[in-house]
Amino acid sequence: DQQVKQNSPSLSVQEGRISILNCDYTNSMFDYFLWYKKYPAEGPTFLISISSIKDKNEDGRFTVFLNKSAKHLSLHIVPSQPGDSAVYFCAARDLNTDKLIFGTGTRLQVFP
């Protein structure tokens, strides 16, 4: 039951360029979406979130876009930096529950 899907297991981007990570979801009851970043042997670190009443949220180099009609969200990182290299998880929440549903993650590698 993959309610949250990240179809690209990996992405490689040159330093300074834009990284675009994609996420699709199936449950129309999801009301809140989050991106987490995870380094090896560490827990997920909250990055940025967006409520379903918005279509864009920006925080520094990170911008999340939400297309509710397509049930699609994306995370843009610009400019990408080598320290951004990590696994990025998309997560979604239904307000009627407490739990986050995670995607399978996309491994981003930013090379010089």
Tell me the per-residue interface mask from 20 to 59 with another protein, x by CB under 8 A, - otherwise.
-----------xx-x-x----xxxxxx--x-x--------
Stretch that binds another protein, among 18-26, 59-67, 74-82, 93-101 (CB under 8 A): 93-101
Taking the C-alpha atoms of residue 108 and residue 18, their distance in angstroms, rounded to an integer, is 12
CA 16 to chain centre: 19
Pick 71 or 107: Cβ nearer another protein: 107
Pick 99 or 112: Cβ nearer another protein: 99
Range 3-25 burial, b when 16+ CB lie within 10 A, else e: ebebeeeebebeeeeebbbbbbb
